[in-house]
Amino acid sequence: MRRALLLALSLLTIPAVQAADLQPFNASYTADWKQLPMSGSAERSLTKNSDGNWTLNFKASMLVASLNEESTLKLEKDQPVPLTYHFERGGLGKAKNVDLKFDWSDMTVTGTDNKDPVNVKLLTGMLDKSTYQLALQRDVAAGKKSMSYQVVDGNDVDTYDFRVIGPEVVDTKAGKVDAIKVERVRDPSQNKRITEMWFAKNWDGLLVKLRQVEKDGKEYNIMLLDGTVNGKTVKGN
């Protein structure tokens, strides 16, 4: 159960968006588990490196469990391109450690997933489990209504589909924020999980809320606590 909440928290690794370039940010979130008296927290940041690439950091914790995720990426033709990906989950439950390198000259992804070797043939547009979220947010900001991404997960390549539901006002700790609601599209006969996300219309599309319902009905709600985008404090209406 703790692992499930940490997985929900990991969806917070969604950076800010701008049509021409990314904006650096820092954000903190609170997380609540409706069925149990447990809460968690998450922090994430996006920084530009001296070589022009970007580093996306994410950390989440709940009780003695923790999750850390880091991607390096670049923008190419206004699209996010993953370079490296690291994921580590520890504490209670099953530990996990993933390290991937995206070699666009050889068109391969290599690395390890819990010590198992990874070797995947790259195709243009493929993303890791962090940078697909950046692509999603940029597409939502561009006005797209449905999106599909090819995401490397170990030695598998999965298809993630999303659709825009519409505008909503979200009452966050930073104030009321005008947002766009998006949901993950799944076949209900195969997968009963529900994932819904709300992205700010302003603040370069910062994620302000996430709701996830697991197959067993357990529900997690994650809400923006505070943050900055390009050095400016996020404030609601």
Any idea which of 51-60, 79-88, 133-142 has the lowest mean pLDDT? Answer: 133-142
Which pTM value belongs to this model?
A: 0.85
What are the angstrom distances between the C-alpha of 89 and each of 10, 50, 84? 10, 29, 17
pLDDT per residue over 156-174, tens digit each? 999 999 999 999 999 999 9
Residue with tokens 């000259």: 105
Name the residue with higher pLDDT: 195 or 17. 195
Q: Is the pLDDT of residue 4 over 60?
A: no
Question: pLDDT at position 106, please?
Answer: 96
pLDDT reported for residue 45: 85
Alpha-carbon distance of 115 to 98, in angstroms, equals 8
How far apart are the C-alpha atoms of 155 and 131, rounded to whole Å?
A: 17
How many domains would you assign to the chain?
A: 1
Q: φ and ψ at 44, to 5 degrees?
A: -145, 155
Q: Rounded to an integer, what distance in angstroms lies between the CA atom of residue 196 and that of residue 211?
A: 5
Residue 159, domain CATH: 2.50.20
What span, in angstroms and rounded, lies between the C-alpha atoms of 237 and 69? 32
Q: State the pLDDT confidence band at 32, using cuts at 50, 70 and 90.
A: confident
- Residue 151 sits at the vertex; the CA angle it makes with 145 and 152, to the nearest 5 degrees, is 175
Range of the domain at 23: 2-233
Residue identified by tokens 């790259």 is 122
| 162 alpha carbon, distance to own chain's centre | 13
